[in-house]
Amino acid sequence: MKITLRLEEDGQESQSVEIETEPTQILHSIADKVAKDFDTDVEDVLQCLAETRGHDSGNTSVAEFFGDERRLYRLRLVCITLHFEGESATRRFHASRTWREVHRWGCKRFCIAEDACPNLELRDGGVEGLLINENQKIGKVHGCKNVWLVAPGPEQNGK
Partner 1 sequence: MANDNFLDRLAADIESAAFQNGVDQKLWELIALAGTALDVRIAASDSAGYLIRLDCTDYWDQAILGQFIDCQTKQCVPSAWPQGSGIFQQWIKYSPGNLFICWDQDRGGISRHSEWAFRKSWQKKTNQLVSYLEFIHRLLWLPQYGYSRRSA
Beta strands 121-124 and 78-84 are: unpaired
Nearer to partner 1, 2 or 159 (CB): 159
Please tell me whether residue 154 binds partner 1 under the rule CB under 8 A: no
Q: Please name which of 130, 148, 9 lies closest in space to residue 82, comparing C-alpha atoms.
A: 148
- Which CB sits closer to partner 1, 12 or 157? 157
Number of residues counted as binding partner 1 (CB under 8 A) = 16
**Closest-CA residue to 72 (of 8, 11, 12, 2):** 2
The distance of closest approach from Cβ of residue 159 to partner 1 in the complex, given in angstroms and rounded to an integer, is 5
Among the listed ranges 36-44, 47-55, 71-79, 119-127, the one in contact with partner 1 (CB under 8 A) is 119-127
> Is the distance from CB of 147 to CB of 81 less than 8 angstroms?
yes
Q: Does 119 bind partner 1 (CB under 8 A)?
A: yes
Using CA atoms, how far residue 12 sits from 3, 76, 78, 107, 132, in Å, is: 20, 9, 11, 30, 26
Q: Which one, 1 or 116, has the nearer CB to partner 1?
A: 116
Residues 6 or more apart in contact with residue 102 via CB below 8 angstroms: 80, 82, 93, 122, 134, 138, 147
Among positions 128-147, residues that touch partner 1 (CB under 8 A) are: 130-133, 135-136
Other beta carbons less than 10 A from residue 127's beta carbon: 13
Q: According to the binding rule CB under 8 A, does residue 127 interact with partner 1?
A: no
In three-state secondary structure terms, 98 is strand
Among 105, 121, 141, 146, binds partner 1 (CB under 8 A): 121
For residues 83 and 126, give the distance between their C-alpha atoms in angstroms, rounded to a whole number. Answer: 9
For partner 1, which stretch binds (CB under 8 A), given 27-35, 76-84, 88-96, 148-156? 148-156
Decide if residue 113 touches partner 1 (CB under 8 A). Answer: no
Binding residues for partner 1 (CB under 8 A): 118-119, 121, 124, 130-133, 135-136, 152, 155-159
